[in-house]
Structures are given as structure tokens and as C-alpha cells.
Structure 1
Amino acid sequence: MPISNSGESIRMAFDTLRNNKLRSGLTVLGIVIGVTTVIAISSIINGLNNNVSSLVSSFGTNLFWVYRMPLIQTSRPSPEMLNRPKLTVQEAEDMAHLPGVVAVDAGMRYNPAFQPGDIGVRYGKKKVAGTILQGDMASLAQTEDLHLLAGRMFTPEEANRHANVVILSHDTAAQLFDPIQSAVGKEVQIGGEVFTVIGVFDKTKSVFGGSGKNPEDNKATFPDGTFRKLHPEEDDYFIEVKYSSDKVKALVQDEIESVLRRDRRLRADQPDNFVISSPDAITRLWTQITGGIALFMVAISSLGLMVGGVGVMNIMLVSVTERTREIGVRKAIGATRGNIMMQFTTEATTLCAIGGLIGIAIGGLITLALRLMLPATMSTFWSLTGFLGSCAIGLVFGIYPAWKAAHLDPIEALRYE
């Protein structure tokens, strides 16, 4: 009976796979590796992309960052950048009077990871090491979308009189107090000074997720004047500018640039010695990075799929030779060349499709395992792309064996032993 429909061809393909399990498994190994690579790498990229988007959102909307050099750098700062004049509180105050500006915060920080000495935070016999110390203006609450687990932000009055108050980040408070909420009202020692805890920040989002610690969750935030009592040598401010809406974004950026160039007495032919950036700069940089990773992923997976395709062609050629007499019988009872082509092409495509499904399943298991360390999220688009790619490999590399089978001489095929 001629093979005249794809359903019968698929049934025969499964019969062939069942009769040659080991050979079929080795044949589709390249397909499985290629699709698994696509799923695993795309899951990592997709998870990190989601985390970056969430992180950017957590910074708040309508925000500019101003600093003397780029806050996000892919290489070491140049000597010219390092020698630029530092931003000042006066410059921040000048920006606060610009049209469209809602709030401005000038802050600085002391990071023991990059500087000698670690004073830490003490409460009784407990101590937290490696704590980042940060000083901000009272307008911090307006410039950033901050979330407090307990307590409150410091007031302008506390900032003006340099009050010894502090807001602890989540991990810092968690190591000193149980429960965390009980930290409010307690007194902690930092750098030989005693500070009253008035608030505790919630955990911050991390790009890489997982169970690792986020350095931003081990931080103590003070009013700017209070911070400078601990570190009078620090004078390197970064400035955050919150503007009212996207409609005034370009105007506010131009005004900030004009104010800074005027304050710094820059001539028209001199370049800016400061950088104005926004949270979406993180997204653009990350898109560039993931674009390169995606190209690497496509290259590696394509190599695996090509190797798998060669294996499929090889096994199908062997199958044509083994089934020469069967092909002759089918032609003798009425099967056309098109029927034979359909049968063997469908077998090759089915073989690769099964390899694709196995690769997706393994990739899913790897994604679940990766979630213990990284924010991996399985991508429907790349899963579908991997499956369709494996089917396409089966179709392309199965055509020649199918053509060879279809053009066998039926008389010679019937004589084949």
C-alpha cells in the first residue's frame, strides 16, 4: 500500500526509531545539545533582562544622575576623568530651582571595599562588617522610590542640625536585631559615635538574584552633615535630579547642562567635565551585552544543530540502503516518488523534532537548577525557535536521502538483498 499521507509517514518514523533506539539516540545527540544550549543560555539572559528591568524600575521614574564621570563604565576611567572637579552641594541647590525639577539630592558614600579601614556597625556584642556608609540630603525621600520596612526617613530639621540618626539597610539590621522592626529606636555605634536608628530599608533588587548577598543591603544612610562628621575627608558628591514628567525631560537635561557649565565657567569650545545619565542607560548597556551573548548562543547552538544534521543525513542514508528492497516493493504496488520523498523526509524531520523536544526538556531542567544561583526564566520564544530550528534541520538534511530513495530503480531495488 503506498505511503500517501504524512500521518502514515510519522507512524513509520516512530517504528524506525523504536527498532533502532541506540542509533537514533546517538543520531539526535547533536540536535539535543544544540537546543539545550539555546534554552539554557536564553533562560539566563531572559531572567537577567527581567531583573535589570525590575532594577531600573526600582530606581524610580523621571530621574537623572549627575556625576563627574560616567556612573556606568566598561573600562577604567581616564586620567582626564579622574582630574575633573568634583560636584558640590551648591551646584545641587542651583539645579533644584530649575523649571520642571521636583527634587534634588546630593549624596556621597564611603565604601570599605575600596578604601582602607572598616569601622562597621555595632550593637552590643554584635558587629556587622563591610557596611557602606552613605550621606544624603533630606530630599532623598523625594528623589528615590524608597521602601521602608520600619521607621521613617530623616527630616530636614535633623539634616540641618546634623543629628546622629541613621537608617539601616535590610541585611545590616537583620544581623543586629531580631526581629528587624525592633531596630527602630535602638542606638548603634559607628566609628566611635552613637547613632539612633530611625528606619530600616527593605531588601533591594539585585541583577543576578540568587542567594548571594547584595552589597546595597549592607548600608547605613545618614543626613549629609552627619556623614561628614564621620568622614570629613570625603567630598565627592553624586547628584540625583527628579523631574516632573517625560514631557520636560529634554528641557531639564539641557537646563542642568547649562547650570553646570555656567558654575564651572566652561567656555563654549570646552567639552563637559561632568556626565548626565538616567536609569535607562543601564538598560541600553545591558542590551549591548546581552546582544553579544545572544550571538554567541546562536553560534554555539548552530554548530550543535549542524553536527546533528550531518548525523541525521548519515543515518537516513544508511536507512535507505537497509530498506532498498522495501522501497522497491512500495514502488511496485503503486507508491510514487512523491510518496517515498514524503516518507523519508518526514522520518528525518520527526527524528530531529524528537531531539528538539528532548533538548527543550533538558533545558527546562537546567533552568530549574540555575534558579538556585541565577534568576533564570525559560523563554517561550527561544523554546519555540529551538524546536522549529530542529525540525528545519531534519527537513534540510533529510531531503537528499529522501531524494535518493525516491529515485531508486524499482526493478533493481526488488533484486537487492
Structure 2
Amino acid sequence: MPSPAGVLSLPGTTPPAAVDHERWPDVATVPACSRVRAAVAELIVRRALARLPLHVRLRGGEPLGTGGPLMEIRDPEAFFRRIGAGGLIGFGESYMAREWEAEDLVGVLSVLAGNVAGLVPPSLQRLRGLWARRQPEAQRNTIDGARGNIHRHYDLSNDLFALFLDRTLSYSSAVFRGFPAEHSLLPAAQHRKIDRLLDLAGVGPGTQLLEIGTGWGELAIRAAERGARVVSVTLSREQRDLARVRIEEAGQTDRVSVLLRDYRQIEGVYDAIVSVEMIEAVGAEFWPQYFSALDRLLAPGGLVALQAITMPHERMLASRTTFTWIQKYIFPGGQLPSVEAMEQVTAAHTGLRTAGRERFGVHYAETLRLWRERFTERADEVAALGFDETFRRMWTLYLAYSEAGFRSGYLDVQHLLLTKEEAAR
């Protein structure tokens, strides 16, 4: 079938080796892209790479960059075409399709993350709304939409997460005593993180604690061991079921209830609320509802302790409506907040005020490195669970991309203490 006029049609543009077309349609086939758009993308990317501290080797072409980690582009035509058609989504899909490689993947991605603001010329950044894809309506975090979004990530397989997490099954940043860290230190580092949050929220004997986002139950167990009574809510059936098993094994079923419930459906009043890396799944549209729920559920004089991944405010504003590779493949409906955005929302919609913040992004970089290394070491076991090579490359890129974000300072993670000031309303 002939291609439409003006659309680049390349022979042999199906990626090498087998990519399951039914499971990965946008990876298995290089997308259509106008010649002009592909040429503009190539020009922009070449100019950006040429001035970065990278060594970029294009098959059949001159090297680019000023020296640094090696990025090998094995299929330049497909690589530039994907970026022309899908921007950073195309960049990620090109890696999934094995069209580019990097022995030091985190190193390459750290350079790109550290220079993200200058990769696209300011004139094109101002026209972002014209060329960048917008988040699809299906990923909006309505009550039904949030349930589906959470299912796509957290219900992949408990066995998959167990392969690279530590025995606490904590899927959030740990807090280490020193660096470099080792995987054997992760359980203690995760407990250190949990204890800091519980201390921040003043959780002790008799505390009525609400946890929004159960994970696999470690924080709830830890709080119950302090004598608190815990209601923990999640939208993941897989997590709910395993958390209940782990809570029973810990002998804390009389102190912990795990409910399959959206934060907007929670009732009651609690002395303390803790939520670990949950706000990232809420979506900017629903931040007012999220913080209003915290305000409504918190008793006068109560405390809220949040662990939140954050990004610079100006980058959040520039990208908040853009559909990203992470949203398409990893966290549908996700949106990282800035500290300024959270403070603006709480000031406008609630009586909650930020009483303290602590940043520890370098600890997340180490946590992610340990997860990534364990995931790579256990690739055969991941495959045995039914996850193909394209999934494994996708997951490796996700872990490396996230680690690079924290190493470069593009991302941060913070503990925030919120207090309820009735007079401020």
C-alpha cells in the first residue's frame, strides 16, 4: 500500500529481533512522520547532542558530543523519525526497540536530564502546545480512571516487584546512613525512612492513623507495632491481598485494616495521616481534591506526613499537560508536583500549611540503583514470569531514567509535615 503524500516510508523500519506487535504496537513499527518534521527533529537533536558531554556514535555518521558516556545510535533513521513523531515518547520507544544503546545508561540519561531545559530551542518550547501530545482523556484520575491507572502498574505482579525490592517490599525511597549503599542495607534503610515519617506525624500508642497508599503493608505494620490503630487504603487488589497476608503474619490484624478505596471515599477523622509517594498518582487536576480530603479527614491539632517526589516549578508548569513516555508506559495519569504547586493548592483550598520539609534526593538515586541492579541480575527470573525482552528494556529504562533524574538534580524527594490551621481558612 503506498504511503500518504509527504509521509516518509522507509523499507526495513521494523526493529530487529522480535517485538510482539500485538503487545507493543508502537514499538514494533516505526511511526509515520512527515519528511519535514523528521528533518527538523534530526536537526534539533543533532545540534543538542553536539554540545553535550556525551560521546554519541551514529551508525554510518560522524560522532557527536564533547566526550563522555557513550550513546550508540544503531538506526539513526528510525531514531530521528520516532522523535519527530513522538518527541520523548519516541526516544523511549526507540530504546525499547533496540535502536539505540548505552553501556552506561544512567550516565547518558543523567547528562540529558541535567540539560533538559536547553535541549529544545526556546522558540519551539513556546510552541509546545502545537507539537507536544497532550495527556489522553482516558488517563484522567477520576475515581474510575484512577483505579484503572493504578491497576496497570501496581497489579503487574507481586512476584515481579519481589524480585528487585527488598524483603520489606517498600517501593519508595529509602534513607541510608552512607554511600555507596548495598542491597543488604535496604531493609534497615526503608525502616529508617518509615520511622522518620511516623515520628514526623507523631504516631505512637493509641494514635488513630490513616495511611493513603498501602504499598505492601510495611508502614502499617511498623505503625501498629508502635501501638497505633491503622486504616490503610489502596486501589491495588494485588497489593491489598498481599498486605493483608503480611499484616496477619506480623500479628497485627487487630490493629490494621486495609481497604480497597479511593482517597475521595474515605470517611472518619484521624489523629495523623501518612502518605508515601501517593500524590504523584493523583494528577494536577485533582490536587485540590486530594489536599481537601486530607484537611477533611485530619482531626484538629493532627499532623500529616507526606513523602513526595518533586520537580522544579518552572519545569512542572512547562510539562504538566504533555503526554510523556512515563505516563504512556509506566505510570498512567501520573504527574510530579512542585513544592510551590502543593503550597499554592493547600493555601487556596485547605487549612493545611507546610510546617517542615526535608530533601533527600541522593538517597532515591541510590535506592533506584540497587533496584535496577537487582532487576538486571534477575532478568531470567523476570522472563520466567512471562515478561518479554521489550518489557525488560522498558523497565530498565524506567529505573535508569528515574535514577538519572535524582542524580542530576532534576528530581527530588522530600518529607513534608503539614499542620491544620483552622484560623487560616
Common fold: TM-score over 0.5: no
Q: What is the TM-score when the length of structure 2 is the normalising length?
A: 0.22
| Structure with greater helix percent | 1
Q: What is the TM-score when the length of structure 1 is the normalising length?
A: 0.22
